[in-house]
Amino acid sequence: MESNITWHQSTITKADRHQLNGHKSCVLWFTGISGSGKSTLANAVDYALFQNGIRSYVLDGDNIRHGLNRDLRFSKQDRKENIRRIGEVAKLFVDSGLIVSTAFISPYREDRAEVRNIFSAEEFIEIYVQCPIEVCEARDPKGLYKKARTGEIPEFTGISSPYEQPENPEITIETNKSTIEESVETILSYLVERKILS
């Protein structure tokens, strides 16, 4: 770390922002293989929060790779850096008082654990979006599985690159068993239970 850089303490604290907003902030970290439903659920939760006057935002894998992380590919090292940066951005959003949903495959347990470590225990909510790969492959909303099977996309999670399942996620959603509405309800109830929302 550059020794001439010192942290400037903010005048307005996170607690001040929570008070202004009338709710706390946290990250909803959606993880799961492609097509499991991370983006769908993150946006559905965001919509429900917005409708209830709660300040929230979605950081989505594809969108971030168009800008902030456009220099990164899909090697293990680049995936690690991708997740590290998202973690730091998510932390800024949480500091700004928002409920931020992140929708990244984030296949490596170690990378997710490192992100978890930069938050306090109640601020990081890991949501395992679970769905059998056969179902995801049948959905194939972006036609990626088809390309992965022909080898057109190398290092594809679940096919030619590993996905390490979360061991202790705060929430598990099985998208082949529950509807989008039920899943949103599960997540919102959790936020109320944890007093992030009142």
Ligand X SMILES: Nc1ncnc2c1ncn2[C@@H]1O[C@H](COP(=O)(O)OP(=O)(O)OP(=O)(O)O)[C@@H](O)[C@H]1O
Between 43 and 96, whose beta carbon lies closer to ligand X? 43
* Residue 106 is a catalytic residue: yes
Alpha-carbon distance 30 to 41, whole Å?
8
Residue number with the shortest CB distance to ligand X? Answer: 37
Burial environment of residue 14 by CB neighbours within 10 A (0 to 12, 13 to 18, 19 or more): middle
169 contact choice in ligand X, Mg ion, none (CB below 5 to 8 Å, kind-dependent): none
Q: Using CB under 5 A, which of 25, 39, 101, 130 touches Mg ion? A: 39
Regarding 82 and contact with Mg ion (CB under 5 A), the answer is: no
Alpha-carbon distance 184 to 146, whole Å?
29
Write down the least CB distance from residue 198 to ligand X, Å. Answer: 27
Regarding 36 and contact with Mg ion (CB under 5 A), the answer is: no
69 contact choice in Mg ion, ligand X, none (CB below 5 to 8 Å, kind-dependent): none
Cβ 178 vs Cβ 133: under 8 Å: no
Provide CB contacts within 8 A for 38, sequence distance 6+: 30, 31, 32, 61, 103, 104, 105, 129
Q: Which residue out of 34, 36, 39, 106 is catalytically annotated?
A: 106
Catalytic residues: 106
